Structure 1
Amino acid sequence: MTSIVELVTNSEDKVTTKLLVRLQNGSHVEAVIMRYDTRLGKYGGKPRPGGPRSTLCISSQAGCKMSCKFCATGSMGFKCNLSSGEIVEQLVHASFISSIRNVVFMGMGEPLNNYTAVVEAVQSMISFPFRLSPKRITISTVGIIPAIKKLKDDLPNVRLAVSLHAPIQDIRCQIMPAASAFPLQRLMDVLHLYQEKCGQKIFIEYIMLDGINDQEQHAHELGKLLKTLDVVINLIPFNAIGSSSHFMSSSEQNVKKFQKMLREVYKIRTTVRKQMGQDISGACGQLVIKISKPTSQLSASMELPDIEDLHT
């Protein structure tokens, strides 16, 4: 293999493990294993089938060009693209620690800015010896329109997640500078085309920032924007990314109001992401290269819902 694991850090939540991986060129990336037990949750009032499983949050680039203001990875700048082999090797490394059932490209980097390598990596993951179901692989993007157009032909059965984070273009550009290259209406148009081709739900990721995108009018604007698409909206509490951040997470009350409005007024399935691995900077938006000391060991305690549960 061309990469090695330099450090394994276990969270005090006992279900999250972060891997620090050194690439052949000396750059580093991080990957995060999250463990779940579907039997501890319910869907439609009934116990979920299945049992323990693990999801791997994987990186496609060292650093990132997108410079999203709420994401620690963006503070690194862009270092390099990973090869398809280096992406797949994260799955290999993680498999020595836990049996991986789902893979989400939500780690470091913008996957669709490393398009060829990501497609090749996914094709390897769904082939021997991994044989992952394409429906258990999710690729997240800020909305690279030309690549989304290609993705529907190259990987039609893989899940797509879109980091939307605001329902109007001005706010998106303020918190996601790269959004200026991808106007919101053009993005919606390509998502309609994508869904017509693939016929499956699109996941919408929406980080909740106090006073910026979490007000009642924002919920109405988001509902109107997405009402003609078949989507699941995942509301993400903001995770601290250092003392320099000027963002604050929305209050739990505001998050619940936002969720209720989307569900009841616009009939859009809306979930709130459960945070994992915050103490080891392994939660959403926290991945940045920083060596830390390992914490507690793993246990069999698994209590949080998996992204795969949103597929049903």
Structure 2
Amino acid sequence: MKNIIDCNNAKITVMGRILRLDEGIAFSYPGVSISFNVQAKNVELVAKCAVGKGRIDVIINNTLSKQLVIAKTPRTFRIFSAKHKQNVKIELLNRGESWHGVINLISLLIQDGELIEPPQLPDRKLIFIGDSIVTGALMERHPNAKKGPQLANAYQSFGMQLGRLLKAQVHLIGFGGRGLIQGSNMLASEAQLPEIFPLTIPVPPYTQKWPVDAYIPEGIFICLGTNDFYINTPDLSIFKRTYALGVKHLLNLYPDVQIMISEGPMLCDTSENEVKKRILIQSLKDLVDELKEPQLDYLACINCKGDNFDPHPTLAQHTQLARHFMPLIQQSLRWPEN
């Protein structure tokens, strides 16, 4: 006998921005996850993609089990199976980006069992704002790989790794190719992070705003500038003014938050980009000096040149980034070492 559970069920724990629907939940930001404890023999998931195609990591008892590819046609996926009824924790995590797909998790089908007490999330809360670096783009590459959404891995992004190291919840508010004032495509029609940040799902036709009081972070880490400087150096006065307005807006939303800004690991693969990066770093340092805001810190990044496949950080480099930033974030937030 199968017990049908709507994915809106109170015994399902959510981390990340979601939109609650008549049937289940929808989301698109990388790293959004739902987790639940279940006592059952078999568990199935009914899901579809409202827009595009999505990919979900299935994590059983904190160990990656499989990856699901979610398409527009609703499908039932077997996510757990055992000979006998067992108690397990299952986590379903969005490994891709908003432009890959908007995922709709509709229901769980539980054979000979039920949901039990829900998993508890850490008390600490962080937000990482940025571009494809923050989202973990192109991380699953190999010598014969073709570039595309299938290579993304939000779970192993440096921000998600930091969340696990620091025992904190993490929201990744990232969007590949976008920047603070201009993206790598240089298209005026594309929304940049100041326009993306307020949205629950940042792709058309969705327009719903995320309720500010639903998640109050202790720290916000901003890694922007790579795409702004990618094609050409932007107008620095506009860049710094927009950044300053963004910092002030975040402090208005979250009066007790600590904001940490960094240039990120890229823009170091050519001599031309190295010059741009020095300008970006100086702009961020100037911003901190000019604002004189005790709740704003500049955190210097290490360089990661990617590899011969692509300049985006590799999995190993994301781990290096997490280890590099961990003590800096602890110091900025005055969090004791774990």
Task: Between the two structures, name the one with larger relative contact order (CA 8 Å, sep ≥ 6).
Answer: 1
Taking structure 1 as the reference length, the TM-score comes to: 0.40
Based on CA coordinates, which of the two structures has the bigger radius of gyration?
Answer: 2
Structure with bigger strand share is 2
Tell me the TM-score normalized by structure 2.
0.38
